Amino acid sequence: MEKNKQITGGEFIVKETEAKDIFIPEEFDEEQNMIAQTCRDFLETEVYPNLDRIDQQEEGLIAGILTKAGELGLLGISIPEKYEGFEQSFVTSMFAGDVMGAAYSFAVAYSCHTGIGSLPILYYGNDEQKEKYLPKLASGEWKGAYALTEPNAGSDANAGKTNATLSEDGKYYLLNGQKNWTTNSGFAHVITVFAKIDNDRVLSAFIIERNFPGLGFSPEEKKMGIKGSSTRQLFFNDCKVPVENLLGNRGQGFRIALNILHMGRIKLGGNVLGAAKYAINQSVQYANERKQFKMLISSFGSIKHKLAEQVIKHFVTESAVYRASYNVDQYVEQSLDEMNKEKATIDAFAQFAVEAAILKVFASETLDYIVDENVQIYGGMGYSSELNVEKGYRDSRINRIFEGTNEINKILVVDTVLKRGAKGYFDLFGEAEKAYKNLVNLSGTPELENDFYAEKKRIIRNFRKIALFLIHAASEKFQRKLVYEQEILNNIADIIMLLYVSESSLLRVEKLENIKDSGQIKVYKDIIDVFVYDTSGKISKFAKDAIYSFAEGEVKNLLVKGTNYYTVVNGVNTKEARRRIADKLIDDNKYNF
């Protein structure tokens, strides 16, 4: 994309994107692929042989593996060179996180350290704080963590009660309170902690070192999954924090927390890709070995359906993840004339808050589907702890809770779109009103396109119109009270998410036309055919669920008519399309899309 073409987060809701303006995984360069291969080799040598020991939380093991990752430079991919990091692009850091996402519990420790454990200091720290902490975090000498959640402050982070008061000599903040669900807390040397100073309405942030007086830890939490991930409660009893360890400005903590959550959400979207791909490989390799009724189960139609759906869900999620990740890099590049890279990066995360929330929800649900079907394909063996299949199933579940629950993030999708529209980032309400007013002009059935890409773009354009006219109608009906209609917001969020992922995957395949030959591209078109066809039915239901929840009379009839008109698609032989997708997976015996 041209440097002077401004990137605006959430704008996809009103504006089409061209294939040339997105990044796709097939465009990774040699250096990026080398970093990814280093990650894969690291998993094979240091993580997979030790999975059981990791899950048993053997003292010092996971911290030691993190240290080895640091020695290879895998902890400093996002850290500037002057702080002993690699200073790679956001897309590159996402690629590394993608590969490392296949590391079960270690993936959680790694993503915590390299993300929320280190980056708040990079983005908000002053020069002295960066020089003191970042080199040690990049090398792995010190490990990082992040403590925001409290027993009575989960999704409502600003409701936290942990308090900070200035000592009489003015040299320290004295922290009192409690944090829970703090990843890496069993071994972290540096923890970003949020507390309110005196009677402040909003949070401030502090850099806490493990040996600060007054800091205590509970024993390790026992969890359903990610058993090897260290999770402890933190207790502050007049914990002495030097005043120079205030991170950012007083009262800036809530803003820091929100922007780091945006970053965490988009990174989670990347992290689950590695776990999903690993589970798909397990599924197909078992299906290619297991015989029932004297036949390989990979030859059964029901198994092919499951394998194909795993591929489709992974492919479309991956397409959206790298589209959004590249947008972050583009925004940073465009902003460097006005601000430094750290400020530009954190602004980019806020800019793409809608996309981040979409990826968090869609990717976590994608992984849940894939690991569930992985267990089903393995049958009884999938339920046995003898294999890692059940471990992947249990480990997946936390992702719908991490970084704000999926329920909160769905509401954020719509709420952030509305707020960005109100602030004039894009003409949301003008386009929404136009889509609504145009409903009276609809008649008959829509004219379908013969060209594959033209027809799919027509359908996706119609998905956009449905999202827009629902936003208009619901906003008109409820005004400021729309925020309390969570079921309707969920319906609209589901439509917006499917719009974004559909468009991302179609643009990827369109761009692949210049990379793959005509024979190779057919299976990718099968993926789009099945996904867009299925999505049309889902969007029809989501839209009508919303409409029947609030609209009446002629308005209801108009909205239903529009939904029916805009979800007309060509029929697809989904059975044969899925079989072709599954056959490629079966022939390759691994995910190779």
Taking the CA of residue 440 as centre, how many other CA atoms within 13 Å lie in the half-sphere pointing to its CB?
5
* Structural tokens at position 24: 């796709």
* 355 Cα distance to chain centroid: 9
Reply yes or no on whether 27 is catalytic: no
Tally of helices (H runs) and strands (E runs) in the chain = 20, 10
* Structural tokens at position 270: 């990347």
- Distance between CA 253 and CA 259 in Å, rounded? 10
- Distance between CA 272 and CA 400 in Å, rounded? 11
* 122 Cα distance to chain centroid: 21
Task: For 125, list phi and psi in degrees, rounded to 5.
Answer: -75, 155
In 3-state terms, what secondary structure has residue 50? helix
Q: Regarding beta strands 190-197 and 163-166, do their DSSP bridges make them parallel or antiparallel, or are they unpaired?
A: parallel
If one counts every other C-beta atom within 10 angstroms of the C-beta of residue 484, the result is 9
Task: For 79, list phi and psi in degrees, rounded to 5.
Answer: -85, 135
Q: Which of 175, 45, 65, 162 is nearest to 110 (CA)?
A: 65
Given a contact cutoff of 8 angstroms between Cβ atoms, the answer to whether 139 and 152 are in contact is no
Q: Which of 474, 468, 491, 477 is nearest to 540 (CA)?
A: 491
Q: Regarding beta strands 231-242 and 215-217, do their DSSP bridges make them parallel or antiparallel, or are they unpaired?
A: antiparallel
Given a contact cutoff of 8 angstroms between Cβ atoms, the answer to whether 8 and 425 are in contact is yes
- Distance between CA 559 and CA 547 in Å, rounded? 7
- Select which of 150, 355, 403, 485 is catalytic: 403
- Distance between CA 223 and CA 196 in Å, rounded? 29
In 3-state terms, what secondary structure has residue 233? strand
Contacts within 8 Å (CB) and 24+ apart, 478-485:
478/550, 482/418, 483/411, 483/415, 485/549, 485/550
- Describe the chain by its helix, strand, coil percentages, rounded to 5: 65, 10, 25
Q: Which residues are catalytic?
A: 403
